[in-house]
Structures are given as structure tokens and as C-alpha cells.
Amino acid sequence: MKTWERLPHTADIKIRVYGSTQQELFERALQAMFAVLGPLPLPGEKGRVERTLHVKAHDAESLMVDFLSEALYFSEVHSESYDTCTIEFFRPWEIRARVKGLPVEGFESGEIKAVTYHDLKIAEHNGVWQTDIVFDV
């Protein structure tokens, strides 16, 4: 199964993410967001970093936006990028996740201003969970 792919969008970044479960979809969405940003590791820094994200929302799509927005917030204030995401707790509509990554001096693609709701629809087709996500850059 593909994990994620980039789709065309005139001004921003659009991805399509796949997962065998909703939980896996959320984990991959976070990893995809940072992969598409292209982290530039801080020279000389070898250590890994770890954060816990905990968000609640009123539906699946809002949870996705809030979850990724939370990751972006931590990324910006701590200058970090996350490549591993393990969801410890997932229920409608709440997530607690542990993310791991590294300190960065920036990202190849600059920065993501925000996660948008545009075209975001989490749905299952033939046993595969899928959604599109547009990031404002």
C-alpha cells in the first residue's frame, strides 16, 4: 500500500495519505507533513527529541487538522522535525501520540503556515483509509 503521495496544487502543498486503519492514517499524515517539508538537521546535533501530542476535536477531520497543527506548533517553537509517530490512544475524537525526531535548522520547503480543512475528507475505500490534506505555505 502506498503510504502517501503529493498531488498538484497551484500555490500550496497537497498530499494524499493512506492507511490500513484510521490510526495508521493519522500517523502517516504527520510523517508525510514533515517529509514534504524536507527537514534540514542542525549540524553537529546527533540527539533525538521526543514530544507528546494530545488533542481532542468534534469530528475526524477537525481532529486531523488539530493533530497536525499541534505538531506544527511544537516544530516551530522548538525548531524540530518529527519522523516517527506512535499513537498511544485513539478514539472518536481524541488522540494522544508520541512523536520522535530531531532538531533542525529549518526546512527545505520553508515552512507550512497552516493545515487547512480544504478537500479534507477521511473515508475508507475497499479497506483502505484515505484523505487529502492541503497545507498553506
Partner 1 sequence: MEGQVKPTDLKKVSDVLYEVPQSFRNDMRVPARFYLDEEMLAAISNDRSLDQLVNVTTLPGIQKAAYAMPDMHQGYGFPIGGVAAMALDEGGVISPGGIGYDINCGVRLLASSITYDEIKPHLESLATNIYHTVPSGVGKGSRFEVLPRELDAILQYGSPHMVKLGYGFHEDYEMCESGGCLSQADPAVISDRAKERGKDQLGTLGSGNHFLEIQRVDEIFNESVAKTFGLFPGHIVVMIHCGSRGLGHQTCTDHVRSMVNASAQWGYNLPDRELACAPFYSDEGQRYMKAMSAAANYAWANRHMIGHWVRESFTEVIGGHAQIKTVYDVCHNIGKVEKHVIDGVEKSLIVHRKGATRAFGPGHPELPLVYATTGHPVFVPGTMGTSSYVMVGPDSGMNEAFGSCCHGAGRRFSRSEAKRKVHGGQLREQLIREGIIIRSRSDVGLAEEAPLAYKDVDNVASVVVRAGLARMVARLKPLAVIKGD
Q: How many Å apart are CA 50 and CA 38, to the nearest integer?
A: 19
Taking CB under 8 A as the rule, does residue 65 contact partner 1?
yes
Residue 56 neighbours by CB under 8 Å, 6+ apart = 63, 66, 93, 94
Taking CB under 8 A as the rule, does residue 123 contact partner 1?
no
Taking CB under 8 A as the rule, does residue 52 contact partner 1?
no
Taking CB under 8 A as the rule, does residue 62 contact partner 1?
yes
Taking CB under 8 A as the rule, does residue 118 contact partner 1?
yes
- Binder of partner 1 out of 69, 98, 128, 130 (CB under 8 A): 69
Strands (E), the chain: 4-7, 13-19, 39-41, 49-56, 80-91, 94-107, 114-115, 123-125, 128-136
List contacts with partner 1 (CB under 8 A): 6, 8-13, 38, 40, 58, 61-62, 65-66, 69, 73, 76-77, 79, 104-111, 113-120, 134, 136-137
